[in-house]
A and B are shown apart, each in its own frame.
Chain A
Amino acid sequence: MNTSLMYSPLATFLIVVACNSSTKNETAGQPVPLGDWEAPDVEISTLNFDQMPFKKLSEYGFFKGKIREFDPGNGVLLYEPVSSLFTDYAFKTRYIWMPEEASATIQDDPEGTFDFPEKTVLVKNFYYPADFRKPSEHIRVIETRIMVKKDGTWQAFPYLWNEEQTDAHYKAVGAEVPVNWVDDQGQEQLLNYIVPNQAQCKSCHNSEEVMVPLGVKAKHLNHDLPGKENQLIAWEVAGYLEGLKPLHEYPAMVSYNDTSSDLELRAKAYLDINCAHCHRAEGPASTSGLFLNYEETDPAKLGVFKTPVAAGFGAGSFTYAIWPGKSDESILTYRMGTNQVGAAMPEIGRGMVHSEGMELIKAWIDAMPEESFQHLSADK
């Protein structure tokens, strides 16, 4: 294999992305015309779960007709966490399905973790509109990930969409897909989107080495969908939640996009959904002692004057995860701001810097008065 030939197009992508270039790039080629194929109706409750994963997404019946339009099948319910993981600016839609007569309960823990019944299915679509200023037009779906609870454990299956956008095929080994779009500022963007391999799902969906869903907890869902009611209520109405107590008894995270919310809560909401799946006591990054979940209140565990453990070059030229008041000298923002594999955080799912997220975390760190944390520093 000639590696130099393979390197150059990738390098071009990276340069274009890095420079946030507004020049048109011709390498993405002409789009393939959309297909007209419509999926036959499938009743999800009749599926044989033992035979999953199916070869094609259309076989599940999650979406009807032209499945790229995400017209939900029987019992398929849209939901949305209040704050969402950054995945290279991909748009996402999420759906849940449960069998008749089955429902989840909310456990009595600080996050409001759900206890899901057997055969619960979570579906998540990743797509890019051609122009982010017209988010419902000219959509290109890249991948759909589904999580199924069977035999008491969750399993995850990635599906890669075809170019005609008629269906997606089960693809365990992952893929790379060039994607381009015009962003909110009218700038052309180009990216080599990485579809993770199936085993990488557990890099994030992991609590004590058991696969778990992430966004379906009370703290993420205890809020209204735009123009609709609170999602916990919506789930209860759909029959997907039982034993629901008054909503104020459940935790509720803020939206990190909501500039009317407290800066610290927004920053911690961002860190929770983007980092805390690993950076928590039960997660794979517990090795670091850096815990970034919303419930964490110990500044030392959140990274204030905390030296790294196994960060290697991920530490850049910096000493502490967070140096209060000095976002430009904090490892946290350094790792959010680099695309170098091995240093970039999160480790997977990001090939671009989330500049809006960076600004939020920087503002939070810069607003920390250093003297308030002097007791944690070396020169106390």
Chain B
Amino acid sequence: MQKINASLIFVGLLLSASILLSCQGSSSERSFDSSKLPRAGQEEIDRLIEAFIFAEDGDTIAVPAGFYNLKTQLILDNKKDVTIKGAGMEATVLSFRELKSGGEGVKLVGQNITIENLSVEDAPGDGIKSQHCDGITFRKVNVTWTNGDKSKNGTYAIYPVQCKNVMIDACIASHSKDAGIYVGQSENIIVKNSLAFGNVAGIEIENSDNAEVFGNTARDNTGGILVFNLPGLPKAEGRGTKIYDNDIISNNHVNFATALNEQPNGNTVTQIPPGSGLILMAAKEVEIFNNRIHQNKTVGIAISNYQITGFPADAPNWSPFTSDIYIHDNDYKRSVQLPDLTKEFGQLIAVYNAHGKGKTQDIIYDGFWDKRLSPDIKTNPMNVCIRETDMSQLHFTLFDLWDGEENIKSSKDYAPFDCQIDIHTNVRAISNR
């Protein structure tokens, strides 16, 4: 992101104010305490490892109640119709605190795989990764990190990637240093009735097609729900996401993706300002409706383009622009807290919004567009439609960042974006998974 030096003095003042008001939340909330569970013995642990190694098509791997202290990965290798079943989220806990090597605690590959009724704790990298799956269900799975010190937490909690037909239902993901529920480079996806809290990103849909995210609660994350397309990936671009009937509440957690004294690194998530409800970045064909977007101190919905990251924005078969968006019928409640000032994106919103310095915004649009399509953003060339009831009462800001950090402009004018479009998703085929 471009540096905003002109505002430094003001930012400094606001920063002091914000420290006084202590608006940076943190969370060490735990869903339950696994330390009281009976410890599984080494024989039981070896049996579990072997059950994964020697699993055959059609097997059910039942994991009895207990706390399993695993020092090696659990990997299901390219099997069909396998169910991994714990005795309940609060009864079966797979702990990877002492994992000695491997990028994730549990890895699942195959067709028609289900994992349910268990918890995964403290994996050094990712919690549960599923890759190259056709048909993968996570149901009543809790993935978390129990460290008080969040700098040691892992990257993704629930992590399907390069999968087809993904169901995430009634899961809990918390305290991940990147995204709690992250679906990447996949197609046909439902994320429903789940809870993501205390993560940097609550729920993220990235470079994925045909996704519906509904009935979830994303609270106390840095950013609640994200729809991104990142450049240079085998699945170059995703399109088609509906986000509806979610509670996106108080996502004001400090961004701990990098250490507090460190600048953002190359991971886009490190730039997310605390207090972000939903963020679209280079997203295509997204409908956001009937959500409760409350108490996110910086912005309810941010419509952004990849240019805002400041990273190289060229890649084959990929566009940095967000396009074909329909936002409607959401319920907004602004926070009384000051917007974020720790991230440049937060500073932009806090300082340069069109409603007054230090005002929380309901919807912002960073104002980049593909100039080959139109010379004027007022023609709405990217097809960004916003039709909320009582739009005049909302804090909407359209930025103009084209002329650099010294010349940031903003406008309240939402009229160019008063339109509606049809977004198509179809997840009926996986709704019974």
Question: Do A and B come together as binding partners?
Answer: yes
Contact surface of A with B, Cβ cutoff 8 Å: 1, 3, 6, 172-174, 176, 192, 194, 196-200, 202-203, 209-210, 281, 284, 286-289, 300-301, 305-320, 331, 340-344, 347-351, 376-378, 380
How many angstroms from the CA of A314 to the CA of B132 in the assembled complex?
23
Residues of chain B contacted by A307 (CB below 8 angstroms): 230-231, 266-268, 309, 311-312
Residue B57 CB within 8 A of the other chain: no
Contact B101 A317 (CB under 8 A): no
Number of A-B contacts (CB under 8 A): 159
Contact B311 A313 (CB under 8 A): no
Contact A3 B312 (CB under 8 A): no
Contact B125 A312 (CB under 8 A): yes
Contact A308 B50 (CB under 8 A): no
Closest to A174 in B: B72
- The secondary-structure label for the interface of chain B is loop
Number of interface residues, chain B, beta carbon within 8 A: 61
Contact B52 A199 (CB under 8 A): yes
Residue B184 CB within 8 A of the other chain: yes
How many angstroms from the CA of A210 to the CA of B231 in the assembled complex?
27
- Those of B215-236 within 8 Å (CB) of chain A: 230-234
- Give the shortest distance, in Å, between B271 (CB) and chain A (any CB): 11
How many angstroms from the CA of A305 to the CA of B315 in the assembled complex?
12
Can you list 13 contacts pairing A with B, beta carbon distance less than 8 Å?
A1-B39, A172-B50, A173-B72, A192-B100, A196-B101, A288-B233, A306-B232, A312-B126, A312-B177, A317-B263, A319-B266, A342-B125, A351-B101
How many angstroms from the CA of A40 to the CA of B98 in the assembled complex?
41
Contact surface of B with A, Cβ cutoff 8 Å: 39, 46, 49-50, 52-54, 69, 71-78, 98-103, 109, 123-126, 131-132, 151, 154-156, 159, 161-162, 177-178, 182, 184-185, 230-234, 257-258, 262-263, 265-268, 309-315
How many angstroms from the CA of A173 to the CA of B50 in the assembled complex?
6
Residues of chain B contacted by A351 (CB below 8 angstroms): 100-101
Residues of chain A contacted by B78 (CB below 8 angstroms): 209-210
Closest to B123 in A: A342
Closest to B97 in A: A3
Within 8 Å by CB of B154, from A312, A344, A350, lies A312
Residues of chain B contacted by A199 (CB below 8 angstroms): 52-53, 73-77
Residues of chain B contacted by A350 (CB below 8 angstroms): 101
How many angstroms from the CA of A306 to the CA of B314 in the assembled complex?
11
Q: With A1-B39, A174-B72, A197-B73 in contact, do A342 and B265 touch (Cβ < 8 Å)?
A: no
Contact B154 A317 (CB under 8 A): no
- Give the shortest distance, in Å, between A300 (CB) and chain B (any CB): 6
How many angstroms from the CA of A340 to the CA of B152 in the assembled complex?
10
Residues of chain B contacted by A317 (CB below 8 angstroms): 258, 262-263, 265
How many angstroms from the CA of A339 to the CA of B376 in the assembled complex?
52
Contact A197 B49 (CB under 8 A): yes
Q: With A203-B102, A310-B184 in contact, do A319 and B155 touch (Cβ < 8 Å)?
A: no
